[in-house]
Amino acid sequence: MLSGAQDRFYAAPGNPGIADHAECVDLDVSNHAVVIQFCRENDIGLVVVGPEAPLVDGLADSLNSVNVPVFGPSQAAAQLEGSKGFTKDLCERAGIPTAGYVRTRSLAEATEALDKFEAPYVLKADGLAAGKGVVIAETRAIAAEALTGMFSGQFGTAGEEVVIEEFMRGEEASFFALTDGTTIIPFGSAQDHKRVGEGDTGPNTGGMGAYSPAPVLTAELEREVMERIITPTVETLRGEGTPYSGVLFAGLMLTDEGPKLIEYNCRFGDPECQVLMTRLQSDLGETMLACASGALSGAHNAAFDEATALTVVMAANNYPGTPEKGGSIHLNEAESAGAKVFHAGTVRTEDGGLAVNGGRVLNVTASGVNVTAAKAAAYAAVEKIDFASGFYRSDIGWREVEREAGSAA
Ligand code: AMP
Ligand code: GLY
């Protein structure tokens, strides 16, 4: 929920979905002067920086320097997403549970470091690589080949350093928290489906579907995550003079030894955001403004609907490779039974229709009393949509659906 205190919303660049709620503006967000000028001309009271690249590029610092409130961390604090090595070192300093690791800066160093690990080998380009910088290599030969690719510029400057990690076993879940640098409020949990294919097979994607909450993250585990992972992260960054404000999205592995951090993102995930927002009942604008202005307090506790929200991503053919663009989409009556269709890579055609303009195109989202019910409602909406040049996974939520069937039996 977003309060009516704000009467005007702008989205840059936006898409035909958000155009129903905000004016879409074509701003070059890599040009900070242009963004500042826009904020001044339009009397902007809060800027929410969605993606990681402009945060790592210091957009929040530029806006803060001219007193425009920003929801999102400074360049220094955004290193939590911008550099895997930075985060691993921070975990070590703060005693945060995570996989053992070595940072390497050359192929020779990395190859030698492989001796310290066992298969499967986890290799990560240090910098931002649009979610493609992680390789899990089953054998040493595959690891050596992947390292050669990384150090020969496959990921550009992101691969100048490679972090090699111990492989963690367990189930993955995501946990969210909002902070102004001092006060922290938990902001729910979710589970994503990263692989493109049914049954979690095929290449990794940005996410093919998600649900919230994630029942595997019990209240007790959430407390443990807050105490052992989130709080020490926020306190360490503040203590070192680079306080973090905004949303912390912790990717977790639930291991036999307890939850361990896989990685941090400094944004709401996609499609995790869609399911979190579907459940949110308290005022997001007010809470984000409090984060931006250092005024978050216990009074801002986020309230979520107890129902489960589940979203199915409809993607363009060939995603996560180069997506087939231009195909037409008809939403028909998809939203008639209470579902919500969030747009991603869509564009308005000249005749007012909708066409494909990106890899992940629609997020068809619905709620239910549990994952099984939310899944049924979301797929009922998916089936109403005509999207001939796209595809979707039909098993979003499968782990939880199996568990729910087990506990009903
Ligand atoms: P990341 O971009 O760091 O989230 O990594 C992408 C995916 O790789 C994660 O969602 C996990 O599925 C997997 N992964 C990353 N690090 C590890 C690890 N140390 N052990 C096991 N799996 C991992
Ligand atoms: N869905 C994972 C992410 O946004 O990074």
- Structure tokens given for 116: 């310290």
- How deeply is 256 buried, as exposed, middle or buried, from its count of CB atoms within 10 A (0-12, 13-18, 19+)? exposed
- Mutating to test ligand 1, I would choose from 118, 124, 134, 138 the residue with most ligand atoms within 8 A of its C-beta, which is 134
Pure H helices in 120-193: 140-151
Whether ligand 2 lies within 6 angstroms of the CB of 270 is answered as yes
Q: For residue 1, is pLDDT > 80? A: no
- Please state whether beta strands 354-356 and 328-329 pair in parallel, antiparallel, or not at all (unpaired): antiparallel
Ligand 1 binding pocket includes 172 (Cβ within 6 Å): yes
Residue type at 165 in one-letter notation: E
- 45 touches 37 (CB < 8 A): no
- Give tens-digit pLDDT for 347-405: 999 999 999 999 999 999 999 999 999 999 999 999 999 999 999 999 999 999 999 99
What atom of ligand 1 comes closest to residue 168's alpha carbon? Answer: 20
Q: Which ligand is located closest to the Cα atom of residue 193?
A: 2
Confidence of residue 409 (pLDDT cuts 50, 70, 90): low
**Look-up of token digits 């007790």:** 220
Q: Look over the chain and give the mean of its residue pLDDT values, rounded to a whole number.
A: 94
SS3 percent helix, strand, coil of the chain, rounded to 5, is: 30, 25, 40
Angle, helix 231-239 to helix 84-94, in steps of 10 degrees: 100
Instruction: Answer with the residue of higher pLDDT: 213 or 6.
Output: 213
Distance CA 74, CA 76 (A): 5
Question: Considering only CA atoms, which residue is closest to atom 5 of ligand 2?
Answer: 269
| Banded pLDDT at 154 (limits 50, 70, 90) | confident
Average pLDDT over residues 191-220: 95
**CA of residue 271 to ligand 2 center, whole Å:** 7
Q: Tell me how far the alpha carbon of residue 378 lies from the centroid of ligand 2, in angstroms.
A: 20
Residue 405 burial (CB count, 10 A): 10
Is the minimum distance from the CB of 192 to ligand 2 under 6 angstroms?
Answer: yes
pLDDT tens column, 166-189:
999 999 999 999 999 999 999 999
Task: Please give the distance, rounded to the nearest whole angstrom, from the Cα atom of residue 37 to the centre of ligand 2.
Answer: 31
> 69-90, pLDDT tens digit by residue?
999 999 999 999 999 999 999 9
The arithmetic mean of pLDDT across residues 95-108, rounded, is 95
pLDDT (tens digit, 9 = 90+) per residue, 324-352? 999 999 999 999 989 999 999 999 999 99
What is the torsional sign of CA 298, 303, 309, 314? negative
> How many residues does the structure list for the chain?
409
The reply to whether ligand 1 has any atom less than 6 angstroms from the CB of 198 is no
- Distance (Å, whole) CA 227 – CA 120: 30
